[in-house]
Amino acid sequence: MRRKIIIDCDPGIDDAVALMLACASPEELEILAVTAVAGNVALGHTAANARRVLEACDRGDVPVYAGCPRPLLRPPVTADRIHGETGIDGSGLPPPTRPLADGHAVDLLRDTVRNAPGEVTVVAVGPLTNLAAVLVQRPEFAAEAREIVVMGGSAGPGNVTPHAEFNFHADPHAARIVFESGASLAMYGLNITHQVRVDDQVLGRIAALRSPPARAAAGMLERYRDSGGALHDVLAVGHLLRPDCFGLEAALVTIDTSETGRIGRSIVERGSGTNARVGFDAAAGEFLDFLLERLARY
Ligand code: BDR
Ligand code: CA
């Protein structure tokens, strides 16, 4: 049975590749909608980029809803240093031709999940603002969602501060609401996403594929490789397609929201209760081969 998913994202170069992987996997995934949130760049860009990527993948029919334009409490922060001014610099993709879907991402998430309890998985690969807003409106969402797969946090060091990862640092209060919600959570933090990187060899293999999505991916990843090339968000989609490539363990994850240098830090403890399954080990080579195979479908 195909898994129904909503992808909540802030494209973002790795978000864009995650969307490409999902679109290349119609046997396994039914993409009900994509919801955009402010994060790597401002909401106007992330909402446009989601449509640019979907259209490049010939999936302009997937509705894109704009969500929250800022974090719950903290001032907005971006990562345009890594993803470029537009969020997907280097992609060469034209502006979207289709409009945004009518309505707010938070309403779409709430209503879609409420109308099909136990059936819809949310892949959340940006700051968790949209999901937190849903959970505040409707706490039942936590039990109604089949699973929420989060790229965010870390069981080790951060990437924005020594302690915090970007998505959790951008909206730590939202991350805390999600991790305290009781939802079925899978967490892909930096400790696992740093194991799967685009290097020169992988980039060469993607560049050898000549389809429009593959050319866009190669163009974006060329700049992205220079900041380490970790394919963060792609692993969250990979979780649904190739669970055999990832080793997860039950853990208790708490999010630091104190106004200190540790804000946004995720504390991951094994053996003391559990609110999430946390990714620890990736079969990087195997997963990269799989990603390449899927990108070659275009
Ligand atoms: C996360 O932050 C963003 O820059 C990436 O898109 C990813 O979701 C990695 O820390
Ligand atoms: Ca992202």
DSSP labels, 118-160: TTEEEEE-S-SHHHHHHHHH-TTHHHHSSEEEEE---SS--SS
Atom of ligand 1 nearest to the CA of 12: 6
Tell me the HSE value of 59 on the side-chain side, using a 13 A CA sphere: 23
Question: What per-residue confidence (pLDDT) applies to 1?
Answer: 87
Give the confidence band of 114 by pLDDT, cuts at 50, 70, 90.
very high
DSSP letter assigned to residue 245: G
Query: Once rounded to an integer, what is the mean pLDDT over residues 42-50?
Result: 98
Residue nearest to atom 2 of ligand 1 (CA): 166
pTM of the model: 0.98
Rounded to the nearest whole angstrom, what is the distance from the C-alpha of residue 182 to the centroid of ligand 2? 23
Left, alpha or beta for 291 (phi > 0: left; psi -120 to 50: alpha)? alpha
- For β-strands 246-255 and 276-282, DSSP reports them as antiparallel
Q: Which of 131, 149, 167 to mutate to test the pocket of ligand 1 (most atoms within 8 A of CB)?
A: 167
Give the confidence band of 271 by pLDDT, cuts at 50, 70, 90.
confident
Active site residue 232: yes
Give the confidence band of 17 by pLDDT, cuts at 50, 70, 90.
very high
Write out residues with Cβ below 6 Å of ligand 1.
12, 14-15, 40, 79, 82, 125, 151, 159, 165-167, 232-233
